[in-house]
Amino acid sequence: MNKRIAAAILTVLSTPALATQAAAGTALPLISQAAEHAIRAQAGAPASTLSLTPAPLDPRLRLAPCSRPLDAFITDGGQVRYQTTVGVRCTGRVRWTIYTSITVESLAPVLTARYALPLDAALTAADFQLQTRRVPGLIGAYLTDPAALAGQRLAHPLRAGEALTIDALAPAFLIHRGQQVVLVAHSPGIDVRMAGIALADGRITDRIQVRNLSSQRIVEGIVRSSSEVEAPL
């Protein structure tokens, strides 16, 4: 679906004459207004922070007048994104549905990188500054509080000046290299626990190597908590 032009997907359950009449037809701006209203209602954000730009509808489009208020719904599970597709339909005496695209942006203070940061960088408040920006999508997708950076790392590199999104954060390491951990092995009727030393940092479900302190063997296990690594017997 073109991001700049509304898709001309139209379902008409009335007669061709009604669908193509030019006089007293549904005004195209009403369709865009209904689509914008649906996004604002779903976003739940202050009107002053949202900037909505509807894609232009084809001025040649003619729709039969609707006897009821237009009904608008967001596609893709109701998720509001930078480019959001909204269906607008008439459920009156005549029935039709048309889909249009709305560009969604937010104007609000967000954390932006002071300089380029590499993948897996440990983040601190000193790495960022709070700047008012117009950003794609909803503000809820961005970090606004420096306190939320504690223990966080980057899931992908960040450019200088780039706004920090929540999905750019990687889960914090639960286990750190050199930390003493408990090696846990399970099998039917047997539960073995041994002391070990982690040989790498690890997040939940990461596979890391651990040195068994009893046998000095190096085994690979799965991080299950901040102190336990599950290893095969």
Chain segment 53-96, per-residue pLDDT in tens: 999 999 888 888 998 999 999 998 889 999 999 999 999 889 99
211 vs 93, 177, 197, CA distance in Å?
74, 11, 5
- The answer on pLDDT for 134 being more than 50 is yes
Supply the pTM of this predicted model.
Answer: 0.65
CATH of the domain at 114: 3.90.1210.10
Nearest-angstrom CA–CA distance, 167 and 175: 22
Residues 70 and 82 in one domain: yes
Same domain, 97 and 126: no
Q: Are residues 138 and 66 in the same domain?
A: no
Closest by CA to 137, choosing from 28, 200, 43, 14, is 43
Per-residue pLDDT band for 6 (boundaries 50, 70, 90) equals very low
pLDDT of residue 34: 95
pLDDT value of position 23: 33
Provide the domain limits for residue 213: 180-230
What pLDDT sits at residue 26?
A: 67
pLDDT surpasses 90 at 4: no
Residue type present at position 16: P
pLDDT in tens, 9-51: 443 333 333 333 333 456 889 999 999 999 999 998 887 889 9
User: DSSP letters along 12-36, please?
Assistant: E-S-HHHHH--TTPPPHHHHHHHHH
Q: What is the pLDDT of residue 9?
A: 40
Share of residues in the chain with pLDDT > 90 (%): 60
pLDDT at 25: 55
175 located within any domain:
no
Could you tell me the CATH number of the domain that includes residue 222? 2.30.30.760
pLDDT of res. 188: 78
Do 111 and 80 share a structural domain? no
pLDDT given at position 232: 82
Instruction: Give the angle subtended at the CA of 153 by the CAs of 152 and 156, to the nearest 5°.
Output: 140
pLDDT at 170: 85
Residue 186 placed within a domain = yes
Same-domain status, 40 and 80: yes
Please count the structural domains in the chain: 3
Cα–Cα distance, 109 to 128 (Å, whole number): 12
| DSSP assignment letter at 166 | G
Name the strand (E) or helix (H) holding 3: none
Q: Residue 69's closest CA among 30, 29, 28, 32? A: 30
**pLDDT tens for residues 169-227?**
987 788 999 999 999 988 777 888 999 999 999 888 899 999 999 899 999 999 999 89
